[in-house]
Amino acid sequence: MKLELDVIRIDGSRAVTIAYADIAQVDQLIACIDERGEIDGGSILSLALESETTLPPTMPVKDLQFKHTSLKVHAACVEVHFESEEHRQHFPVEARWSRVHRWACRHFTIAHDACANLELRLGSQDGPLLNERKEIGRHPDCVVVWLVKPGPEPNGAAR
């Protein structure tokens, strides 16, 4: 049981084979793709399964219904900043920005509740908002995004 990836990046192509027979859980498979493919494992799994459904991290890999075991993926480079940290990762160009958000929360170990209330901004902490339902798309260079917590907005008391 293996997943063959052909990842086409702006700095060249790379072919990776992920043997998953010995990988027990979904979160471990995602981490393996992250590391070996240098691309977001969650997005790749979603393409391989043809499903955007969020899988339980502990779901057994043997229960996954793969639609594809060989994928050719055009990848966009995204440099994600969160507070004082930053990290570059690749994502399929057709993946939505929500994938970047989800990956960043995993990578920067942000609690689930806090993660949902962060937003992605393009270029800087004060840059324009990115709609997470939109595709990342193709970019000539690595795209810089910031995962930020919006400031509080004053209001009157509920009535």
Partner 1 sequence: MSLDLGVDLASAAWRHGEEQGYWRVVERIEHILYVETFARDDVAYILNLQCDRYGVEPIRGRFVDSPTRACVAAAWPQGDGTFAGWFKSNPQDLFICWPADRGGVEHHADWRALQYWRKTDNQLVQYLEFISRCLTLPARGYHPRVQRLAS
> Rule CB under 8 A: is residue 153 a binding residue for partner 1?
yes
> What type of residue sits at position 150?
P
Cβ closer to partner 1: 21 or 158?
158
Backbone angles phi, psi at 75, to 5 degrees: -115, 140
Of 109, 108, 104, 33, nearest in space to 73 by CA = 33
Give 17 or 131: the residue with its C-beta nearer to partner 1: 131
Q: Is 54 in the site for partner 1 (CB under 8 A)?
A: no
- Residue with smaller CB distance to partner 1, 24 or 116: 116
102 φ/ψ sector (left φ>0, alpha ψ -120 to 50, else beta) = alpha
52 binds partner 1 (CB under 8 A): no
| Interacting span for partner 1 (CB under 8 A) from 1-9, 65-73, 78-86, 151-159 | 151-159
Rounded to a whole number of angstroms, the minimum distance from the CB of residue 130 to partner 1 is 6
**Interface with partner 1 includes 158 (CB under 8 A)?**
yes
3-state secondary structure of 123: coil
Q: Which amino acid is at 48?
A: A
Taking the alpha carbons at both ends of the chain, their separation in whole angstroms is: 59
Q: Contacting partner 1 (CB under 8 A), which of 12, 56, 140, 154? A: 154
- Rounded to 10°, the helix 97-107/41-49 angle is 130
- Taking CB under 8 A as the criterion, the residue among 8, 129, 138, 139 binding partner 1 is 129
Of 92, 106, 98, the residue nearest 45 (C-alpha): 92
Under rule CB under 8 A, which residues in 105-124 are in contact with partner 1? 116-117, 119, 122
Provide the binding-site residues for partner 1, judged by CB under 8 A.
116-117, 119, 122, 128-131, 133-134, 150, 153-159
